[in-house]
């Protein structure tokens, strides 16, 4: 398989799908440039090896062309980080895009305008009236499929090779993330972001060093079921924290007061417990919790046993004694995966558990444990706390990472490997 490292880019134009879907404030300033920084090593490598770049991405969820979601807002940030002037094609399908890409010289960079200004990128018909019949929907979908083929073919015509470095959209079979790959049967490869994500997650899923511990937190059991079950195949221990723990406790007859609970998931919670036992996975979740008399940073707090929470009180964070027990498990592990905060970390009063986990993970990483942090809120937590560089890998893939962990073959990965 080709890789950026072994491919000869001399004189070649590489079309690179990056994830430049960065948050912008009202003055169109970037408030978090992590995704741009992440793509720079891939872009630099192509230029260093004598190639030129056609960079493409989506930004936001536009329904059509709009200044608000124009990628022109991020040109200065790319120029600054890449150290190269960036040309801009204000319509990714326009005459200018074709001309600029055809005349691109080694070392030059062209950025295409937001791909999602065209419905063809995602391949979903837009603007259908709500009352259209199923037949009409079918016709519109078929027409869109044809338009998407043309769109994809045109994007492919700009370049000599294709690099996918947008892990965040790898779970979508869009024109630029998957379909375009077939136009480059011998000239397609992953960028460093994609490669890094795949290697890191495979290190947990496919060849982990045991003991393996997963820390699963967050709000809802229902959104984590498939991951929990998949992780039972590789885990020796699983720590369950956050709001979802209370569904497990109530399902076993515990008193959880007003804590978060998904009553319709209790049976499933019991079946998860049974599966863990059958697979020999040791679960850690019982213990003391920090409770509050309101869902507020100003609430009164007290420590309660998690199955004896009084009415009117809710479990908001892991208590120090519970964290101590978890610390022992984590320190005895060789591989740790963390997804989801173990408390309502957005409120300072209930952030201690999540902070402690982040600190512990940084600490055990320095002793040689492989630590992977993934999933929106836990990534935000380690980043806020300044630990992003102190764990082995922080996955920014969000939904893509979760699907990969569930064992789903992502279209963006499959298209390159095909």
What is the nearest approach in angstroms of ligand AMP to the Cβ of residue 384?
13
State the number of binding residues for ligand AMP (CB under 6 A).
Answer: 18
Residue for token pair 């040791």 = 282
Among 80, 136, 346, 348, binds ligand AMP (CB under 6 A): 346
Q: How far is the CB of 157 from ligand AMP (least distance, A)?
A: 41
- Does 337 sit near ligand AMP (CB under 6 A)? no
Contact status: 260 vs ligand AMP (CB under 6 A): yes
Instruction: Count Cα neighbours of 299 within 13 Å in the Cβ-side half-sphere.
Output: 20
Give the DSSP per-residue string, 95-138.
Answer: HHHHHHHHT--TT-EEEE--GGGSHHHHT---S--TT--HHHHH
CB nearer to ligand AMP: pick between 24 and 219: 219
User: CB nearest ligand AMP: which residue?
Assistant: 218
* Interatomic CA distance for residues 194 and 47, integer angstroms: 19
Minimum CB–partner distance for residue 222 and ligand AMP (Å): 9
Q: What letters, b where the CB count within 10 A reaches 16 and e where it falls short, cover 295-330? A: eeeebeeeebebbebeeebbbbbbbeebbeebbebb
Verify whether residue 399 is a known catalytic residue.
yes
In angstroms, give the least distance from the CB of 218 to ligand AMP. Answer: 3
- Exposed, middle or buried by CB within 10 Å (0-12, 13-18, 19+), for 374? buried
How far does CA 383 lie from the centroid of its chain? 14
> How long is the chain?
418
Residue 378 CB, nearest approach to ligand AMP (Å):
7
Catalytic-labelled residue, pool 13, 17, 35, 250: 35
Per DSSP, 209 falls in state P
Asked if 376 is an active-site residue, the reply is: yes
How far apart, in whole angstroms, are the C-alpha atoms of residue 252 and residue 303? 20
Task: Write out the DSSP string of 237-251.
Answer: EEEE-STTHHHHHHH
Nearer to ligand AMP, 16 or 240 (CB): 240
Residue 377 binds ligand AMP (CB under 6 A): yes
Binding mask 214-243 for ligand AMP (x = CB under 6 A): ---xxxx--x------------------xx
Angle between helix 376-384 and 352-365 (nearest 10) = 80
Among 12, 44, 72, 220, the one annotated catalytic: 220
Assess 315 for contact with ligand AMP (CB under 6 A).
yes
Least separation in angstroms between CB 320 and ligand AMP: 16
Beta strands in 10-51 (DSSP E): 13-17
Cβ atoms < 10 Å from Cβ of 363: 16
Question: What binding mask, one character per residue, do residues 357-376 give for ligand AMP by CB under 6 A, x or -?
Answer: ------------------xx
For the window 178-217, what string marks contact with ligand AMP as x by the rule CB under 6 A? ---------------------------------------x
Residue closer to ligand AMP by CB (options 157, 222) is: 222
C-beta closer to ligand AMP: residue 123 or 353 = 353
- What is d(CA 149, CA 154) in angstroms, rounded to the nearest whole number? 9
Residues that bind ligand AMP (CB under 6 A): 217-220, 223, 242-243, 260, 315-316, 340-341, 343-344, 346, 375-377
Active site residues: 35, 220, 376, 399
């Amino acid at each position: 398989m080709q890789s950026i490292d072994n491919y000869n880019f001399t004189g070649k134009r590489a079309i690179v799908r990056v994830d430049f879907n960065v948050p912008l404030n009202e003055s169109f300033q970037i408030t978090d440039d992590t995704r741009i920084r992440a793509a720079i090593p891939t872009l630099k490598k192509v230029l260093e090896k004598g190639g030129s770049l056609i960079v493409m991405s989506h930004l936001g969820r536009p329904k059509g062309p709009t200044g608000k979601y124009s990628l022109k807002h991020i040109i200065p940030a790319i120029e600054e980080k890449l150290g190269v002037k960036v040309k801009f094609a204000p319509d990714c399908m326009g005459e200018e895009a074709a001309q600029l890409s055809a005349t691109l010289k080694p070392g030059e960079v062209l950025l295409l305008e937001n791909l999602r200004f065209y419905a063809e990128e995602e391949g979903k018909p837009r603007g259908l009236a709500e009352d259209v019949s199923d037949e009409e929907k079918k016709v519109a979908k078929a027409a869109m499929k044809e338009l998407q083929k043309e769109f994809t073919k045109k994007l492919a015509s700009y370049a000599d090779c294709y690099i996918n470095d947008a892990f965040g959209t790898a779970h979508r079979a869009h024109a630029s993330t998957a379909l375009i790959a077939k136009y480059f049967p011998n000239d397609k490869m992953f960028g460093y972001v994609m490669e890094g994500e795949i290697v890191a997650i495979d290190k947990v899923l496919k060849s982990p060093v045991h003991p393996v511990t997963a820390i699963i937190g967050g709000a809802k059991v229902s959104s984590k079921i498939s991951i929990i079950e998949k992780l039972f195949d590789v885990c020796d221990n699983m720590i369950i924290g956050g709001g979802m723990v209370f569904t497990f406790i109530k399902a076993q007859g515990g008193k959880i007061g007003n804590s978060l609970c998904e009553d319709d998931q209790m049976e499933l919670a019991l079946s998860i417990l049974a599966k863990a036992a059958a697979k020999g996975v040791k679960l850690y979740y019982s213990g003391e919790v920090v409770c509050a008399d309101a869902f507020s940073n100003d609430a009164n707090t007290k420590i309660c046993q998690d199955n004896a929470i009084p009415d009117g009180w809710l479990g908001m964070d892991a208590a120090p004694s519970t964290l101590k027990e978890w610390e022992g498990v984590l320190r005895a592990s060789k591989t740790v995966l963390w997804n989801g905060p173990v408390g309502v970390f957005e409120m300072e009063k209930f952030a201690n558990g999540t902070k402690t986990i982040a600190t512990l993970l940084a600490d055990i990483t320095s002793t040689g444990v492989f630590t992977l942090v993934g999933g929106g809120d836990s990534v935000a937590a380690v980043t806020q706390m300044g630990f992003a560089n102190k764990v082995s890998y922080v996955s920014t893939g969000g939904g893509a990472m979760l699907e990969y962990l569930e064992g789903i073959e992502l279209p963006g990965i499959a298209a390159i490997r095909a």
